[in-house]
Structure formats: structure tokens, C-alpha cells
């Protein structure tokens, strides 16, 4: 078990891992990772990003259980993630967004991400392929969002917009 403070929050890792000669410590090869109160702006600082990410604030909490696949030795598992009090330059975008994560040897799946975003209801799902040779996808549906709040990244455009909007987007990344 290891725990510590990072990114203005806490990180806990516990579990059993394979020894170099492939022995299984304790007969089990699994673990759990917990993130609590990780600050989005601290993540932006870590990534040395400029612009949009620097202006975001809020916290991330996550719990993820994993085991090492017997065939590949890679970690696989399931978890939950929550984003709380997400703001851009102090303006609230979302109180809480929740979703499920699934890690497979070749992909990370985002499932049932939902919550209120910019005054509308967000539903999102996606697959991030861990190999750049395969294409991943992300699908977003946002219903009834405040257009001005939705355009937070473009303040000059947002100041002239009014009303509610619906958004249905499917994005792809990677090869294919």
C-alpha cells in the first residue's frame, strides 16, 4: 500500500504485483487505485498546458480496481470517475459529471458519463485505443445547454449568443 499527496489531492495505490520471477505475491495479482480531490488546475500545471486547461478548475475523484491479465500481463479493470464543481475562469460549467471506466489490454472505455453541463444534460461514451494503429471514438450528446456558457472557450463569440442548444457530436482519433 502506498499513499501520498499529489496535484493538491490524495492518491492511494494498494495491491499485489508479480515478482520478477513471475511468482504471484499472496497468490493474487490485483490492486486498487483511488484519487481524491485532484485539482484540475494542478493537472493543467503538470501538463504545462496553456489557455483552456489553465482556466479550468474543479476536482476529480476516481476509484479503479484492476488485475493483471494472465495472457498479456497488462492491467485490466473497472472504475468510476467524478468531476466536481467544474469551472472556467470562475464560471460554473458543471456541478458533477460521473462516469464509468473500463481498461482492457488494448483500450480505455468511457461509459455512461452523465451530468449537467452548461445548464444542459450531458451523455457521453467513448473508446480510447492504446495503439495508435487503431481508431478510437467519442460520442457526446448535450441537450438544452446554455449556448453562452457552452462557448466558454471563445468569450468574444459567447457574449453575443443567447438561448438553449442541443449538440450531438461523434469524434474519431487515431488511424483508420
3-class SS string, 100-149:
EEEECCCEEEEEEEEEEECCEEEEEEEEEECCCCCCEEEEEEEEEEEHHH
Average pLDDT over residues 143-162: 86
Task: Give the cell for residue 137.
Answer: 471514438
The residues, any chain, with a CB within 8 Å of residue 37's CB and separated by 6 or more, are 8, 9, 10, 59, 60, 61
pLDDT tens digits, 41-99:
877 666 655 555 667 889 999 999 988 877 777 788 999 999 999 988 888 889 999 99
The whole-angstrom separation of Cα 16 and Cα 90 is 42
How far is Cα of residue 116 from the mean position of the Cα atoms in its chain?
16
Q: Which of 8-22, 23-37, 118-132, 148-162 has the least mean pLDDT?
A: 23-37
Say what the pTM is. 0.76
The whole-angstrom separation of Cα 136 and Cα 133 is 10
Amino acid at each position: 500500500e502506498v499513499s501520498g499527496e499529489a496535484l493538491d489531492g490524495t492518491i492511494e495505490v494498494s495491491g499485489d504485483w508479480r515478482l520478477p520471477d513471475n511468482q504471484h505475491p499472496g497468490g493474487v495479482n490485483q490492486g486498487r487505485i483511488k484519487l481524491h480531490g485532484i485539482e484540475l488546475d494542478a493537472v493543467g500545471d503538470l501538463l504545462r498546458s496553456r489557455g483552456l486547461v489553465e482556466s479550468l478548475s474543479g476536482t476529480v475523484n476516481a476509484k479503479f480496481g484492476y488485475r493483471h491479465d494472465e495472457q498479456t500481463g497488462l492491467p485490466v479493470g473497472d472504475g468510476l470517475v467524478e468531476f466536481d464543481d467544474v469551472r472556467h475562469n470562475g464560471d460554473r460549467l458543471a456541478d458533477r459529471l460521473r462516469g464509468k471506466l473500463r481498461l482492457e489490454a488494448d483500450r480505455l472505455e468511457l461509459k455512461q458519463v452523465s451530468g449537467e453541463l452548461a445548464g444542459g444534460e450531458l451523455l457521453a461514451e467513448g473508446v480510447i485505443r492504446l495503439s495508435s494503429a487503431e481508431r478510437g471514438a467519442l460520442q457526446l450528446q448535450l441537450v438544452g445547454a446554455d449556448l453562452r456558457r457552452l462557448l466558454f472557450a471563445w468569450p468574444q463569440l459567447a457574449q453575443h449568443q443567447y438561448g438553449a442548444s442541443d449538440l450531438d457530436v461523434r469524434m474519431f482519433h487515431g488511424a483508420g
